[in-house]
Chains A and B, each alone.
Chain A
Amino acid sequence: AQKITQTQPGMFVQEKEAVTLDCTYDTSDPSYGLFWYKQPSSGEMIFLIYQGSYDQQNATEGRYSLNFQKARKSANLVISASQLGDSAMYFCAMREQGYSTLTFGKGTMLLVSP
């Protein structure tokens, strides 16, 4: 079974609109971390935001916020006021306490149009 599921292969949004990228996860570990990375066409994986399983509040970093619903095991990324430079592949990833490595979802390609 997949540990990280991103159901949207591609998303389109107009500049200045908000967009939500979906991510659900599967773990029985009570301690885990959820990450979102952005990968532009240049290739570099850029860390955006982190949510820990014990964090009481949803994480926010500038225009990025994470809608963390623990009971539903979802960790959706919300980008407010999209910009053309937001066009990229976005990966959701999880790190469980007992493991040393990241498990990535398949990614969502976001295209922002003028």
Chain B
Amino acid sequence: DTEVTQTPKHLVMGMTNKKSLKCEQHMGHRAMYWYKQKAKKPPELMFVYSYEKLSINESVPSRFSPECPNSSLLNLHLHALQPEDSALYLCASSPRQTGNSYNEQFFGPGTRLTVL
């Protein structure tokens, strides 16, 4: 199984809502990532988890709250978002966070988020 799954595919939420994005992989990878991607731009790294611990937070606003309940699952909790947070949110996993320069990242299909 070389797949990263993400749910939901699409999400529309108001600025006062609380919602969560879910990401799952069963490849035994120990590093998982959240990226934010605006239209026609490259992905921007938000968070990295390594062995279920938060390793990198790229100065992301606290209205985004990541969680890694176990080695297969990664959540992104959303609260009080702004319209400019509308974007494609991509999850990725890799065998480990550091190591040789290969360490390919496998991406999920993404969640398209619209904040009204």
Contacts and interface: CB of A to CB of B under 8 A. Distances in A.
Interface of A: 31-33, 35, 37, 42-47, 50, 52-53, 89, 91, 95-97, 100-102, 104-107, 109
Contacts of B105: 47, 102
Contacts, number: 63
B69 interface: no
Contacts of B106: 47
Interface of B: 31, 33, 40-43, 45, 48, 50, 55-56, 88, 90, 92, 97-98, 100-110, 112
A45 B43 contact: yes
A95 B101 contact: yes
A52 B105 CA distance: 15
Query: What are the nearest 10 A-B pairs in CB distance?
Result: A33-B101, A104-B42, A45-B107, A43-B110, A44-B109, A100-B97, A100-B98, A32-B101, A97-B101, A43-B88
Contact of A43 (B45, B92, B109): B109
A87 B110 CA distance: 19
